[in-house]
Amino acid sequence: MRTIESLGSLQGTRVIVRCDLNVPLERGRITDDGRIRASLPTIRALIAQGARVVIVSHLGRPDGAPDAKYSLAPVAGRLGELLGTGVAFSTDTVGDSATDAVAQLTDGGVVVLENLRFNAGETSKVDAERAAFAARLAALGDVLVSDGFGVVHRKQASVFELATLLPSAAGLLIATELDVLDRLTEKPEAPYTVVLGGSKVSDKLGVIGHLLPRINSLLIGGGMVFTFLAAQGHKVGSSLLESDQLDTVRGYLAEAERLGVKIVLPTDIVVASKFGGDAEHQVTPADAIEDTPFGASGLGLDIGPDSAQAFAAIIRASKTVFWNGPMGVFELAAFAEGTRTVAAALTEVDGLSVVGGGDSAAAVRILGFHDDQFGHISTGGGASLEFLEGKRLPGLEVLGWQ
């Protein structure tokens, strides 16, 4: 895969950097700047070379038209604070403001262009529309450094077509992400444990199928656990259930047994009367979810304390751990302990511990953990999962990735 070094001297060169600065905002304030921080090494390296840095990114899903609540203006401000230097901001992506802002750049200067997705061409399903938008972006730069790992699984204008129009290479963040993913798939150190949670088992089936022959233990929590419990014949009340996946899950349970992989399901569940922070709740055995006072209307919102401790013990005894998906509704204090316990265990792994982006990355920060307590926190949950499923990623292939 092509690296920044392959682009030669970048002194005075207009370098478009495709970052993933899709950070969470509340009333215009950034609540987690992890993705901005992850982009800093590449941006600093380009500044040090005297490049004229043009940063492009998406934020949220504004449906192809300007929407003030998805503006990258707060991101540009925070980036300037972290870099300790002035960062200009363009109020459009490929219009007059962008053209003027780029023209005013000096060597080592940085500008952030407005949200890519304010332009319908960025995510269009029509190849020609994406290509047309990419051509307008290409006019603003001389080369492209692609560093938005969180979008490399998407065939979008700034990720794919732009890389065919300009000399292009991968940034330092993508290189780091791929190095970690290679360690998870190519001869990982054993014992190797994968922890999967989140709401839908269907989102994780490809990962399970691809990783089962490579791992020693698979720990299942979150909403997806109820499909596994139902596949074993247990009643799950009103808990999240994908009944159309029951046969597939039974197949994986059988395959794991054949391979000698230990699939570990919770032995206890925190069951609530409703979804909400003020809900009545109690811990119950995983095979007795409907035997609570809530009956068939009860819903599981977290793994129980015994399960959390059992998961933690397996994690701590592992040399390689990949975790994607919270164990429960961590945003609500009453249902956060399973996720907190798993996260704490990952900080104690004597080996490689990887938090697989998305909600898992948000959870560890919300729960008070620091990035440097883990081996790696991915910036791309979806991209990581697709890589671990063995899928080809267009945003990497266009950079020469094999």
- Tell which of 172, 205, 225 closes a domain: 172
Does residue 163 sit in the same domain as residue 207?
Answer: no
Average pLDDT over residues 288-298: 96
The CATH number covering residue 303 comes to 3.40.50.1260
- Tell which of 118, 144, 172 closes a domain: 172
Q: Is 35 labelled as part of a ligand binding site?
A: yes
Does residue 188 sit in the same domain as residue 212?
Answer: yes
Single-letter amino acid, residue 163: A
- Tell which of 121, 138, 172 closes a domain: 172
Does residue 187 sit in the same domain as residue 313?
Answer: yes
Residue 397 lies in a domain: no
Q: How far apart are CA 47 and CA 41, in angstroms?
A: 10
Q: Is 291 labelled as part of a ligand binding site?
A: no
**pLDDT tens string 71-91:** 999 999 999 999 999 999 999
Does residue 150 sit in the same domain as residue 250?
Answer: no
Residue 381: what pLDDT? 84
pLDDT band at 153 (very low <50, low <70, confident <90, very high): very high
Cis peptide bond prior to 191, omega within 30° of 0: yes
Query: Which range of residues forms the domain containing residue 67?
Result: 4-172
Is the predicted pLDDT of residue 357 greater than 80, yes or no? no
Residue 266: what pLDDT? 98
Number of domains in the chain: 2
Q: How far apart are CA 334 and CA 280, in angstroms?
A: 10
User: Catalytic residues, which ones?
Assistant: 35, 200, 358, 382
Beta-strand ranges (E) seen in 226-364 are: 262-264, 268-272, 281-285, 299-303, 320-324, 352-355
pLDDT band at 199 (very low <50, low <70, confident <90, very high): confident
Residue 166: what pLDDT? 98
**pLDDT tens string 84-119:** 999 999 999 999 999 999 999 999 999 999 999 999
Is the predicted pLDDT of residue 201 greater than 90, yes or no? no
Is the predicted pLDDT of residue 402 greater than 90, yes or no? no
Q: Is 61 labelled as part of a ligand binding site?
A: yes
Q: Is 21 labelled as part of a ligand binding site?
A: yes
Residue 402 lies in a domain: no
Residue 1: what pLDDT? 94
Does residue 337 sit in the same domain as residue 251?
Answer: yes
pLDDT band at 203 (very low <50, low <70, confident <90, very high): confident
Residue 28: what pLDDT? 87
Is the predicted pLDDT of residue 54 greater than 90, yes or no? yes
Average pLDDT over residues 7-16: 98
Q: How far apart are CA 103 and CA 369, in angstroms?
A: 42
By three-state DSSP, how is residue 140 classified? Answer: coil
Residue 112: what pLDDT? 98
Residue 76: what pLDDT? 98
Q: Is 29 labelled as part of a ligand binding site?
A: no
Residue 393: what pLDDT? 96
Q: Is 119 labelled as part of a ligand binding site?
A: no
Does residue 154 sit in the same domain as residue 203?
Answer: no
More confident call, 67 vs 362: 67
pLDDT band at 187 (very low <50, low <70, confident <90, very high): confident
Q: How many CB atoms lie within 10 A of CB 220?
A: 26
Does residue 356 sit in the same domain as residue 225?
Answer: yes
At which residue do the structure tokens 């991968």 appear? 170
Does residue 256 sit in the same domain as residue 345?
Answer: yes
Q: List the alpha helices (DSSP H) in 166-318.
A: 172-185, 205-211, 225-231, 246-259, 305-316
Residue 253: what pLDDT? 96
**pLDDT tens string 250-291:** 999 999 999 999 999 999 999 999 999 999 999 999 999 999
Q: Sort 60 into a burial class: Cβ within 10 Å, 0-12 / 13-18 / 19+.
A: middle
Residue 396 lies in a domain: no
